[in-house]
Amino acid sequence: MRNARQFVYRYDGNANSDEVVEDFDGEVLVPEKGQVIPRNGKNWRVVEVLTEQTLSNPGAIPVCRVFLTKVD
């Protein structure tokens, strides 16, 4: 679990749309700002990517928050 991380995808700024994806093997690439990625059968543009590491619990896996907006 050395490269393990968790992704949280948020669609159009709606906190109720958060989708959590576990990446225990570190196989999912972290998207870049401005990149268009497919999610749930639609294309989405990456608005922002924030990576959080819990300092109080160094053993916790990092969380990558990916903010998306719909591509017209």
How many Cβ atoms from other residues are within 10 Å of residue 44's Cβ? Answer: 21
pLDDT of the residue at 56: 73
Neighbours of 7 (CB within 10 A): 19
Provide the greatest CA pair distance for the chain.
41
Q: Per residue in 38-65, pLDDT tens?
A: 999 999 999 999 998 877 777 788 999 9
pLDDT at 13: 95
Q: What is the C-alpha to C-alpha distance for residues 19 and 8, in angstroms, rounded to an integer?
A: 5
Say if CB 48 and CB 67 are below 8 A apart: yes
Tokens of 5: 């991380």
